[in-house]
Structure 1
Amino acid sequence: MQNSAEVSVIIINYGTADLTIKAVNSVLERDHGGRHVDVHLVDNASPGDDAHQLAEAAKSPLWTKHVTTYLETTNHGFGRGNNLVIERLAAQTAPPQKIMLLNPDATLDNDAIDVLAKAMDENPQIGFAGAAIAKPDTGPVTAAFRFPSITSELIRTLGLNVIAKQFEHTAVALPPNLGTQQVDWVSGAAVMMRMEAIQSVGFFDPAYFLYYEEVDLMRRAGQNGWQSWHIAEAKVLHAEGAATGVGQSERKRRPDYWYQSWAHYFFKSYGPARAALLSVSMLGAAGLQSLKSILSGRPSKLPKSFGSDFTRTAVRPLLTGRSPLS
């Protein structure tokens, strides 16, 4: 099969068919500066009638012409779900030059695809170009980041503002109103990726189910000389957390796969010994934050059940010298 699209947009759905349809339509209703853009929609074995809703939407003329739907019987997660499409596209005789990942709970707010593609055309070193992201009700949110580090993780877990201010230069999240510039990595909710850059590192690490997979991908690509840029002129609206159930609330209990992905990332990035030492140190930092919370009468900033969940899913595997995803 030959693909003549310059940009292929991939959207991974799980349980948000109504939002996903809006996301697809936000792509189809724009002309993208005359670029040929197609959409690849993966339903990750959603519960309920998502597959039926998407199949019905796919009967419309625009969808029939521009959208390829993959109704999966297994929930592959984010990275593997994208790999499913990217690997097929890469194997075509005329694969797309660029891949655009768009969350199912996100919509284009301007001609973001054209803006991102132009930035990549003008700078052949850009492997990943991320859009500026805003929540519909509250405005801009962070869409560009520094790589997580041992320092950033300990400070975040300790939760002391006076210390965090002294180490602002290590904070993972960059300001929401950041201008166009090179960064360590950008949000996977709205990012354009050069096919050549993705192929150079062997696509997403399939060990991840959800979270940290795009951080890992851009870290590996960066080691190969590819740059990641935040392009402020590209605008996307994102109802954060609607698709995953995990937003920015610190107190909400995190799923096991969040901690497992965290541990896998640090295991790969820093090695078994330092990842294990970091995980134990974070338990100590979490204990100090909990003690401070008790003494001050203020609620902890840690996710609910952090100590037990983190110990079970991350610390114990790392202390045995392995990643929980290996």
Structure 2
Amino acid sequence: MSDTANGALHVLVVHFNTPDLVTSLMKGIPRLTPAGREVLIHVVDNCSTPDNARMLRENVGEMADVTLEFNSHNIGFGAGMNQLAGRSGIEPTDLVWLLNPDTQLQPGCLDQLERTLDDGEFSVVSPLIYSGDSTAAWIWYSGGSVAPRNLRVQHELWGQPCSLAPTEPFETEFITGAAPMMTAATFRTVGGFPPGYFLYWEDTYFSWKARTLGLRLGVVPAARLWHAAGASSGHGQSQAFYYWFTRNRFAYASDTGVPRRQLISGRGGFETLRPLVRALKEPNDRFPKARAALRGTIDGLRRRR
């Protein structure tokens, strides 16, 4: 890797009703990478409430090197990222960094990711993502996998202290959509996120598709990113989570050639029931959330490729 890299780094953010979080994230992103790339930030608002959209425009609209778009309706996370990545002016050799709005860069995060990606061992890289406060930080993502028998996504070391994380970059089967970095050419080669998923499982499909193309996915533990899980929907999981998470598990199965019967019997059937049971244990709105999980299951069963 040369001391000064060519091209730019484009940070892509899909916003929905979290203007304060996005503003805080923007303030923590440098305008030049350690390798010398110009940093350009692109934000799309997915039809937030008028007040939140106004706050976003006031807080972010005048920032240097930030472009801001507003969608007339909520097209979902994956489609929003595809929209941003398809902007004119993003060259194939440029880097794109997809970031959740409820994240915060920690010292050295950008440097470590950029170095590892430029080294060429991996086509897509992710930081170690953690949550909690400084006195009780816990791992949210440090690599992941998809169990083939029951089709369950597993975040490795989830909930464990950050001190237990690996120290060197390593290959993984699944990269979360919260903070992956890659070249624009890689994103486009994979085809972006799948249409129609709206929320959840689009990163699982992206990871699967990338690996089928022979691309290597890597986690860089020395790169640390803080993440506030569920910030767009408040405390606990939302009805939208229960619907789309259950529905898109079936979509993923269909799109990757997993027989539907595998999701309705045995371990797969047990996993299908898990969101419904989880919803019924929620402290708030448990019955609406359970109905959302049930609707997601029914719609997933009805889905055709």
Partner of 2:14: 12
8 Å CA contact retained: 1:283, 1:307: no
Could you tell me how far apart the structure 1 residues matched to 2:196 and 2:297 are?
A: 15
Mapped pair 1:207 → 2:196? yes
Cα distance between partner residues in 1 of 2:60 and 2:140? 33
2:209 aligned with 1:220: yes
> Equivalent of 1:58, from 57, 60, 64?
60
Deviation at 1:210, TM superposition (A): 0.5
What residue is the counterpart of 2:114 in the other structure?
117
- Deviation per CA, 1:94-136, whole angstroms, max 9, x where unpaired? 455211011111010123222111101112x522101111214
Out of 155, 172, 185, the residue aligned to residue 183 of structure 1 is 172
1:286–1:307: 8 Å Cα contact kept in structure 2? no
Report the counterpart of residue 162 of structure 1 in structure 2. none
Change in CA separation of 1:70 and 1:253 when aligned onto 2, cut-off 3 Å: closer
Specify the structure having the higher radius of gyration (Cα): 1
**Match 1:131 to one of 124, 127, 135:** 127
The 1-side partners of 2:214 and 2:172 are apart by 13
CA contact (8 A) 1:267 1:275 kept: yes
Residue 264 of structure 2 is aligned to residue 275 of structure 1: no
- 1:164 aligned partner: none
How many angstroms apart in 2 are the aligned matches of 1:276 and 1:8? 42
Report the CA distance between 1:302 and its aligned residue: 2.7
Q: Does the C-alpha gap of structure 1 residues 283 and 212 become closer, same or farther in structure 2, counting only changes over 3 Å?
A: closer
Partner of 1:295: none
Which secondary structure state, in structure 1, belongs to the residue aligned with residue 104 of structure 2? strand
Alignment of 1:60-209 (within 5 A): 60=62, 63=63, 65-89=64-88, 92=89, 94-95=91-92, 97-123=94-120, 125-137=121-133, 138-143=136-141, 144-151=143-150, 153=152, 172-176=154-158, 177-179=164-166, 180-209=169-198
Moved over 6 A (4+): 286-289
* Alignment CA distance shift 1:307-1:128 (3 Å): same
1:302 alignment partner AA = R
Q: Assess if the C-alpha contact under 8 Å between 1:111 and 1:234 holds in 2.
A: yes
The aligned counterpart of 1:260 is 247
Pair 1:44-2:46 in alignment: yes
TM-fit CA distance, 1:315: 4.5
CA contact (8 A) 2:150 2:267 kept: no
Secondary structure of residue in 1 paired with 2:278: coil
CA distance in 1, matches of 2:68, 2:273: 49
Query: Could you tell me how far 1:51 is from its partner in structure 2?
Result: 1.8
Q: What's the C-alpha RMSD, in Å, of the aligned pairs?
A: 3.1
1:205-232: per-residue Cα shift (whole Å, max 9, x none)?
A: 1111000101101110110011111100
Q: Deviation at 1:262? A: 1.3
Aligned partners of 2:12 and 2:84 also within 8 Å: yes
Normalising by the residue count of structure 2, what TM-score does the alignment of the two structures yield? Answer: 0.81
Count of residues in correspondence between the two structures: 283
Q: 1:34 aligns to what SS in structure 2? A: coil
Change (3 A) 1:49 1:32: farther
For structure 1, which runs of at least 5 residues remain unmatched after alignment?
A: 154-170, 290-299
Given that 1:254 and 1:303 are in contact with CA atoms closer than 8 Å, whether structure 2 keeps it comes out as no
